[in-house]
Amino acid sequence: MNHNLYKILYKNFKSDLDKICIEIPDYKKISFKDLDILSAHFASFLYDLGLKKGDRMICQIDKSLSAIGLYLGCLRMGVIYTPLNASYTNDEVKYFIQNIQPKLFVSKPKLNDDLENICAKLGVHFFKTIGTSDSDPLLIEILSMDPLNIFENCKDHDIAAILFTSGTTGKSKGAIITHSNLSSNALALREIWGFTGEDILLHTLPIFHVHGLFVALNTALLSASKIIFLEKFNIEDVLKNLPKSTVMMGVPTYYNRLVNEEVFGEKAYKNMRLFISGSAPLTEKTFKEFKKKTNHSILERYGMTETGMITSNPLDGDRVEGTVGFPLPKIKIRATKEGKILPENEKGIIEVKGPNVFIGYWGMREKTEEEFTEDGFFITGDIGQIDKTGRLTLSGRSSDMIISGGYNIYPKEIEIILNTIEGIRESAIIGVKHSDLGESPIAVLVRDSKVSKISENDIIEVLNRKLSKFKIPKSIIWIDKLPINAMGKVQKKNLRIKYEKILL
Ligand code: MLC
Ligand code: AMP
């Protein structure tokens, strides 16, 4: 049997080929047939470059139909798809190239030659650029090629994508995700969220992460649902397009923004059947205010890059605020402490097993082994408890990871850079409350008194050169000494308590 995800998607939308598949408001609408042909053109492009099943391709491009075409073209060909956040700096991108050694790098139209030079130096065979407009030269070239109607034969464990997740040590890890990981998750989500061809999904998420790419796109395509495809979450465009939609997916920041918007009234959500939230904790406050304003209970679900979606509140039945619901079909979860499985209602590390779970980190065998138990459960690092009905409530994370507006930030990555700056003796990055983004990083620093004072602007400038904007601390606090415990470890918990409300 061919497990190629594109083939599975195609099989599920092929009886609706003439239906509108994607609408970009005020720009264009394309049918499922158009999408199928577009993806075949992109497959042809990859084939012409000599890429084969198992070859790696990295792209760092803006959200567009071409980006979807490239994703689906890779699936068709069995080429491993690795999308990167468009805001990553060249320093960050360099690491990803070194790590997975792609044959092809597709970039947004270049601002300078640096990235192309980096690719050449690192042995990437092909460097291409693609923009978002219909008159983009590469797109025109691709559309002039004969479409290649291929469904490369893929076994269930063949790799569809590698998505990078940040690591506690400051080094990102490439999660290897198979065709079957993706199809099993999309099939489960279609079932539990009741997606049908009647649905219209409002898509405002970026498509370089699991949420916008796999959860939203795969589930909608598999269900032959229409997608209203917006470049980003912009409140005006969202309010304009919500009345035409039936389902929306988003990070909690989207719902905070909507509920605080005065003109968000009944007209906007009259056709909506479901609002889904995930990637970060949805506060009980937002859940309750949203319910009060709209009479809709936001459906919160929980997932990870390594696992796709793990649990979800029910479509029918109680959606309980502060909980992330029940495991998806065929997925098992448990809470453990020091390797022992805990009874119900006891807090521990959440572990997960099922067809959704990735097969390991690219080129990091030891790291992979560390994160799986002997009986094959993946150790998520999230802390939670499971009640007697099987419902999961999350209460934190075992690492210091910060989630800002749905993007993960690992303090270590920032601290490593801060510690190289003259004038800083010690640093600690902590996450504190932020009314819009949920959490944001701030830097707590100790001066090196032997060196002349360094300005905050200089510090931010150094960070800006090396890191994406969303990782830059929103505030810098100078203190005399970081609190440490008997083992010499910085007590970040104390700092978090002290500065918890500094950005509110
Ligand atoms: C943008 N900026 C952010 C940011 N997003 N800063 C901190 N945190 C963020 N999340 C910065 C930009 O760099 C820029 O900086 C400034 O804010 C304005 O940029 P913008 O693009 O106009 O911002 P905005 O539209 O407000 O974006 C915020 C947002 C967006 C929340 C709408 O970040 C977003 O769509 N997030 C979704 C993330 C996501 O998809 N996560 C899923 C991960 S998958 P400057 O300095 O230039 O002004 C996963 C698994 C799972 O977690 O379970 O789903
Ligand atoms: P990522 O590595 O980007 O895939 O982020 C995965 C992490 O996001 C998980 O390990 C959780 O910590 C967090 N996450 C995802 N969904 C939720 C949710 N509904 N509530 C709380 N945290 C979540």
111-150: pLDDT as tens digits? 777 999 999 999 999 999 999 999 999 999 999 999 999 9
Report all structural domains of the chain as residue ranges with CATH numbers, in order of start. Answer: 5-14+29-181 (3.40.50.12780), 400-499 (3.30.300.30)
- Residue 197 CB partners (closer than 8 Å, separation 6+): 16, 19, 223, 224, 225
pLDDT band at 314 (very low <50, low <70, confident <90, very high): very high
C-alpha distance from residue 90 to each of 48, 65, 80, 443, 460 (Å): 27, 24, 21, 23, 17
Report the nearest atom of ligand 1 relative to the CA of 469.
13
Average of per-residue pLDDT values in the chain: 96
Q: pTM of the entire structure?
A: 0.96
Residue 107 DSSP SS3: strand
Tokens 């700056």 belong to residue: 421
Q: What is the pLDDT of residues 27-49, one digit of tens each?
A: 999 999 999 999 999 999 999 99
For residues 216-247, one letter each, b for 16 or more C-beta atoms within 10 angstroms of the residue's C-beta and e for the rest, the string is bbbbbbbbbbbbbbbeebeeebbbebbeebbb
Residue 487: predicted pLDDT: 79
> Within 10 A of 147 (CB to CB), how many other CB atoms are there?
17
CA dihedral 107, 113, 114, 118 (to 10 degrees): 70
Backbone angles phi, psi at 300, to 5 degrees: -95, 135
Tokens 């109607």 belong to residue: 149
Ligand 1 pocket check: which of 202, 211, 237, 277 to mutate, most ligand atoms within 8 Å of Cβ?
211
Is residue 406 within 6 Å of ligand 1 at its C-beta? Answer: yes
C-alpha distance from residue 485 to each of 178, 446, 465, 488, 494 (Å): 42, 17, 33, 5, 11
Backbone angles phi, psi at 318, to 5 degrees: -75, 125
Q: What is the pLDDT of residues 238-291, one digit of tens each?
A: 999 999 999 999 999 999 999 999 999 999 999 999 999 999 999 999 999 999
Residue 449: predicted pLDDT: 83
pLDDT band at 11 (very low <50, low <70, confident <90, very high): very high
Q: Which two tokens stand for residue 194?
A: 């009741």
For ligand 1, atom 46, name the residue with the nearest CA: 469
pLDDT above 70 covers a percentage of the chain that reads 100
pLDDT at 169 over 90: no
Q: What is the pLDDT of residues 53-100, one digit of tens each?
A: 999 999 999 999 999 999 999 999 999 999 999 999 999 999 999 999
Report the nearest atom of ligand 2 relative to the CA of 381.
10
